[in-house]
Chain A
Amino acid sequence: MYRYDEFDQTLINERAEQFRRQSARRLDGDINEDQFKPLRLMNGLYLQLHAYMLRVNVPYGCLSAHQLRRLAHIARRYDKGFGHFTTRQNIQFNWISLTDTPDIMTELAEVDMNTIQSSGNCVRNITADHYAGRARDEIEDPRVWCELLRQYSVLHPEFSYLPRKFKLALTGSPHDRAAVAVHDIGLRLHHDNQGRPGFEVIVGGGQGRTPVIGKTIRQWIEPRHVISYVEAILRVYNLYGRRDNIFKARIKILVNAIGIDKFRKLVDTEWEQIRDTGLQVSNTEFERINAHFLPPDYENLADQGDELAAKRTREPAFDAWMRSNVTGHKVPGYAIVNISLKAPGRIPGDISADKMEHVAALADQFSFGELRVNHRQNLTFVDVRQIDLYLLWEQLVALELATANIGLASDIIACPGLDYCALANARSIPIAQDISLHFANSGKLQQVGNLTINISGCMNACGHHHVGNIGILGVNKRGKEYFQLTLGGSADEHASLGIRLGRGLPRAEVPGAIERIVDTYLTIRQATETFLQTYRRIGIEPFREAVYGPVNVSRRVA
């Protein structure tokens, strides 16, 4: 993975020192909260319900064991001993003191980490396929480009006061695990008809109050031009994005207002002027960064057919874990292993400092000292020898980190919601807990198969509810929490937005409603159809009826 050289290091150190001065000025009363707020936000420091919250970037989800140990240390020394992984592949600490924050930044800088632009109206942490560089179906590894774009966007003098926040996601696989279609810019590496690698550029996707599936602005662009193309998009957005209404300020609104064709024309005109400038990625720079992403020293191993099969037959729990949490690797004899942070009844994405250290030790032992944070709030070891799988599983079992539910109904995304978040309308975490416990008790998890349930505590949609097969949105009606269900969302290469099922439900009715939806699916599915496939075949009505009763009644109350 990428390591800072002296120049990266200097910049990050200087940023930490700058914040040390800024926060001192705030504590001395030289600047007031209005003036300080944008400064702390640009450094990932929010004021939430209970305290300051610090969001630390995990660039495109890549983390070393060494860094994870430092995060554990920060959780223990400066917070209450745990952290929360988010859908943006970041980690948040919930009880951080302003007076400690400069020291934390320095401690992060020591391990090549920072909090820069994890909030604010600027280019945010870039996200990517958490299997990047390892997935069997991958065409090209996007991580070099992630790093180039990260450097390009950090402290960009022109684009630090955009109309609104700006999110980029990259993937190099046909199967989209990075939800690129619901980002301000999504970049998909693929080959053109002559077999040359290039990016499909998708623009104007997003979630939030107005969810939109992004549109392809360019089918293929040479990788060395990707930065100038992104700059052209950013400049057009900076100049023409709306600034009069915060709810209409994202790039998706601009793209929809003028239409993708006109938007493309503006971008292309701008791009013509800058494509052959210093923004072109030189071979030297590409090679320098690429050297950080060379594959580790894989051993010459064969795939473990029979032996693994025997263990799986002997041990059904191991088999279940293999089925849901382990996936193929592009190198023979290796596997990708997902570590679920979604044990039934637990808080999605939360992990204690102790467990962080255990996971770091396992990463050292089993996966070349590296891991990934994925956008479904789980962790991933991308380089595990198949002969080690059983041993790793046993150790994860001992740590209660072997829940076999990746991609299944209890692998729920939940934003912090009203338990932590100052913007929330309703709680998310307790709903996730209710549902995951409900599934654990019903024993239907394996039977139901792949099903994503995503929960957000407000319209901002940090819990990606629009693209959950079942989405749950918390709302506040006359001081009470209600939960609106949507069905049919999907974040993959056939991205779609969920459709609202009906009126909001009180918390106590949510698990029952989910159960009726799932039972309806089990009754009417054909052969091996997933929930989403069944939904797409038959539409929303049967599910609506299952939750709200026969049509004539539901129409009246809906």
Chain B
Amino acid sequence: MPLTNSHQNIIDPYIKIGPDDSLPAEGALLVTLAVWQDHWERLMRRQELIGVQLTSDEHPEIISDDIDQLDLIALEFPTFRDGRAYSYARLIRERYGFTGELRAVGDVLLEQLHYMERVGFNSFEVLSNDPATDFEIAANDFTVWYQTSGDQRRTATMLRQGKKNHG
């Protein structure tokens, strides 16, 4: 599926590995939680890029101890209505301190990209010919937000304060 890192369209370097796949000797891997848990030691020894993909039933707390070892965490949206991954994303960024690539996969709609970016996602699998352009459109609908949430955007309250301070 086409991928964007919010600035440009990117080619996914990762090979997806499910429970039935054998582990290739080389290459960047994106593995399911089951694979991660079953082959934890082997995977930790690898020097190449490694990521874990979680379903919306899998709370990221399970991998919170390993977070420094991971380059990518992918969170699934089984349908766009399932909003659990928005909370997971905030926990992964703000509580577990993950700084790598946080990817939204599954039923990811254009209209949701700006919410996703705000909670900490920085790459997106979108059904689109040109997801970067879509992102550009969707993520710039708003210049003002009320809530703090992980990203560095200034909230309306901060902007008000700033305005007061600078006259």
Contacts and interface: CB of A to CB of B under 8 A. Distances in A.
B5 interface: no
Interface string B96-135: 0000000000000101101110110000000000000000
A151 B145 CA distance: 9
A238 B160 contact: no
Given A5-B160, A157-B119, A10 B84 contact: no
Interface stretch (A278-286, A435-443, A461-469): A278-286
Interface string B136-167: 00000111111111000000110111000000
Main SS class of interface, B: helix
A418 B48 CA distance: 62
Which of the listed residues A10, A155, A158, A288 has the most CB atoms from chain B within 10 Å of its own CB?
A158
A159 B83 contact: yes
Main SS class of interface, A: helix
A8 B156 contact: yes
Contact of A11 (B119, B146, B160): B146
A162 B84 CA distance: 8
Contacts of B84: 238-239, 243
Contact of B141 (A18, A35, A163): A18
Contacts of A279: 148
A161 B80 contact: yes
Contacts of B160: 5, 7, 288
Contacts, number: 92
B163 to A, nearest CB: 9
B86 A159 contact: yes
Interface string A129-166: 00000000000000000000001101111111111000
Contacts of A210: none
Given A155-B142, A161-B80, A7 B86 contact: no
Interface of A: 5, 7-8, 10-11, 14-15, 17-18, 21-22, 35, 38-39, 121, 151-152, 154-163, 235, 238-239, 243, 273, 277-279, 282, 284-285, 288
Given A161-B81, A278-B148, 17 more contacts: A7-B159, A14-B142, A14-B143, A15-B142, A18-B141, A39-B111, A155-B146, A156-B147, A157-B115, A158-B90, A158-B119, A158-B147, A158-B149, A160-B86, A160-B115, A161-B80, A239-B88
